[in-house]
Chain A
Amino acid sequence: MMNGNDWPLVFFTLISQISVGILLSGFVLWTSLKNSDISSPESIRKLLLVAGFASMVVALILSFLHLANPQHAIYSFSNLQASWLSREIILASIYLLTLAICFASLQYNIPHRNLFGPIYLASLIFGIFLVWSMARVYMIPTVPLWNTPATPIAFFHSTIVLGAGATLVIISLLASKNPAFSSAEKMQSIMFYLIAVTVIIGLLNTFFLQPDIQALSGSFPIPEVASSWKNARIVFLLAGFSILTYWFAFQLQSEGGTGSVLIYLGTACLLISEIAARYLFYASYFRVGV
């Protein structure tokens, strides 16, 4: 199953989930800091929006690379009543549109600056539905290994870990260029906690909640999934999390190391881990029947 044609799908799903994850992280940040004295600079709002928008544009371009006849994609909204793929495509389009309006309201006061909050929230809700529909696309009744709760759990895990990781990197970049960015430390702490909780849930899912492949497959043959990819996934997840934990415990807390290179290294490890996990997901495809 896993061949050259599927790589665009690996990156389409991951990058669009990063986009939604960045928006979600922004929401968590502003909600957490709402009643505190710490204010978040507008530049970070803009940067997060631009990052979310740009990554979604890249993801959509990649999705077209998977199509043999992209000029017929215009018909892809036709089967909303039955096809999760159709729903995913329209949700991706609406999500991108709301992101654009959101940025316009903040940057150009169009339609109005005061509408930024509600439009941002609408974008986030559409984004969450987008990730849900993305997971449902793969929950095909004839593909037993994908048709389990592990699929949406894995997709939302990627969304939060990579989104929070990307937000952490963006905050670090801003903090390293702007020493007056006093709230960076608090924001980075919130992102670290978000990553930590999600990684722990992800590890529990990996070790304890994965479906019984043998029971699901019945008498049908199971493909051999490359164990090296599986091991790489776990190693990079643990490495990324350990590096970020070290940074958080020994650099941020004691030295205020908001622009540490360990952040980039740890986030890169988490990204590699998620790419390996998504590769494994596609490689594990098998369906009942022939």
Chain B
Amino acid sequence: MGVRWRRVYEVCGGDWKKEGNAWIPGVYAYHISLACNHCEDPICMDACPNKAIVKKENGVVLIDYDRCMGCKYCEWTCPYGALQFDPEKRVMTKCTLCADYLEDGKAPSCVAACPMRVLHYGDLEDLEAKHGKYNEGFPLPKEKYTKPALVITPHRDAPKAQDILLQIANKEEVKK
């Protein structure tokens, strides 16, 4: 599927339960839209031997293509699948949070384009004050690994996901 800096994961799970003569549905499905989370503690940046991954003063994590040797070690480490190898440029790439747009005072492309207006951007403290601090839940990893600059309003069934057998339903769309 090639390079896709933002990918939407479809999670599904649950079961049916028989109550008397009726089958009660307990199935659910929800989506998580993921790109680079410009983590506070980027594991990719520590891993990169070339110091090709840098964190700017405004918190945006960027890749210096002129230093990347394409070893893909950063891809192994990122638990959000943010780092992707571009076979044409022959370097690792990832979401830049549209850093050039931000400098011009414009919103990142994905935020501007989302028809349902579910994506927001801004200072992490402001976003946490507005949306809370939840940033885990299947299929996301624990926060401790990278401290992602991410908050999500979870689907009501997302907390169940840790206990119930569930899976990513659209693997062919989100995995390389």
Interface, chain A (partner B; CB < 8 A) = 5, 66-73, 75-79, 82-86, 89, 137, 140-143, 219-221, 285, 287-290
Contacts and interface: CB of A to CB of B under 8 A. Distances in A.
A235 to B, nearest CB: 30
8 contacts: A69-B68, A76-B49, A78-B49, A78-B51, A85-B47, A289-B80, A290-B80, A290-B174
Nearest to A87: B49
B70 interface: yes
Contact of A79 (B51, B69, B145, B167): B51
B51 to A, nearest CB: 4
A290 B67 contact: no
B140 interface: yes
Nearest to A88: B49
Contacts of B79: 142, 287-290
Interface in B4-36: 7, 9, 34
A132 B70 CA distance: 23
Contacts of A66: 71
A83 B66 CA distance: 19
A232 B167 CA distance: 32
B106 interface: no
Closest 4 A/B residue pairs (Cβ): A68-B70, A289-B79, A86-B49, A289-B141
B84 interface: no
Contacts of A143: 76-77
Nearest to A83: B49
B136 to A, nearest CB: 10
Contact of A287 (B46, B77, B140): B77
Contacts of B141: 142, 288-289
A143 to B, nearest CB: 7
A72 B46 contact: no
A79 to B, nearest CB: 5
A84 B77 CA distance: 12
B52 interface: yes
Contacts of A73: 69
A287 B34 contact: no
A71 B47 CA distance: 19
Given A289-B80, A289-B139, A75 B50 contact: yes
B69 A67 contact: yes
Contacts of A68: 69-72, 85, 90-91
Given A75-B50, A83-B46, A141 B91 contact: no
A5 B72 contact: yes
Nearest to B166: A219
A288 B50 contact: no
A218 to B, nearest CB: 9
B145 A141 contact: yes
Contact of B69 (A70, A82, A83, A221): A70
A102 to B, nearest CB: 26
Contacts of B34: 290
B43 to A, nearest CB: 6
Nearest to B142: A288
B159 to A, nearest CB: 12
B58 to A, nearest CB: 21
A76 B140 CA distance: 31
A219 B47 contact: no
A79 B78 CA distance: 18
Contacts of A83: 46-49
